[in-house]
Amino acid sequence: MSQIICQKIKHVAIIMDGNGRWAQERAHRRLWGHVRGSKVVSTIVEQASDMGLKALTLYAFSTENWSRPLSEVQVLFLLLKKFLKREEKRIIENNIRFKVIGDCSKLPEETQKLIADLEVATKEATGLKLSFAFSYGGRDELIKAINNFMAKNPGVPIDEESLSQNLMTADCGDVDLLIRTGGDQRISNFLLWQNAYAELFFTEKKWPEFTSVDFKNIVEKVATRERRYGSLGDKDSLEHSKQTAQSQAKLFKRR
């Protein structure tokens, strides 16, 4: 099973939703849910690494989340800082490459330094590529990627490959599986380009009650799905499907 997973599921993205509602259902403040939810992150990262996945991208804080109460935003920032301090050693020891995608400039300076230091310390790591999406928005990422390409290549039309290479997750590739906890069934401006052919899995479980066993079971279940990428049969990758389609189109044109 592990070999099948590595072949078909390389990049998993998770929308970690339901923290506040989980806490309110237990007569607690929303902030308590974020605290409990932050503890789940470590177990999921460890499970992803143990399974041999190539990349794991976690949606921690969106550009829209800035509209939440200041107290809640401050707690999310504090939890990120605590995570970095608590998990730095384990991330390095487990050969995990860490980075944050999004706009880090709005984070406290101390947290920015912790992020920068850990990114530098793990830039040569060859294991799991762990990305935190913080102050991130998919549409914003696309606009920045296009503008970046145009600035470097004035007057040159942009293509799919060029756009992909200018995204914040360029070295992680497309998402194979998107998981969302908390019951909602939408992607909420998360990795819009990268999720084009992702398998989607929505669970009613809220993030604080999500376990490493849940994660493993979902990945293994999705790995058995047939992925056709627009063709009639199972394909190894989207690139394989594109190459086959291009070959067929050229053959048809000659006729």
Q: Global pTM?
A: 0.87
pLDDT, position 226: 80
| Confidence tier at 190 by pLDDT (50, 70, 90) | very high
User: Do residues 142 and 209 share a domain?
Assistant: yes
User: Do residues 40 and 99 share a domain?
Assistant: yes
CA–CA gap between residue 178 and residue 133 (Å, rounded): 14
Position of tokens 């403040």?
Answer: 29
| Confidence tier at 225 by pLDDT (50, 70, 90) | confident
User: Do residues 188 and 118 share a domain?
Assistant: yes
Q: Is 17 a catalytic residue?
A: yes
User: Do residues 182 and 247 share a domain?
Assistant: no
Which of 19, 65, 147, 195 does the annotation list as catalytic? 65
User: Do residues 118 and 64 share a domain?
Assistant: yes
Helices (H) then strands (E): counts for the chain: 9, 6
Q: Is 217 a catalytic residue?
A: no
pLDDT in tens, 60-92: 988 788 888 888 888 888 999 999 999 999 999
pLDDT, position 208: 97
pLDDT, position 10: 96
Instruction: Return all residues near 233 (Cβ < 8 A) that are at least 6 apart.
Output: 226
Q: Give the range of the structural domain holding residue 113, as residue numbers without chain letter.
A: 2-224
pLDDT, position 237: 61
pLDDT in tens, 115-132: 999 999 999 999 999 999
Return the CATH number at 103: 3.40.1180.10
User: Do residues 196 and 148 share a domain?
Assistant: yes
Q: Is the pLDDT of residue 239 over 80?
A: no
Mean pLDDT for all residues in the chain: 90
Chain mean position to CA 165: 16
User: Do residues 74 and 26 share a domain?
Assistant: yes
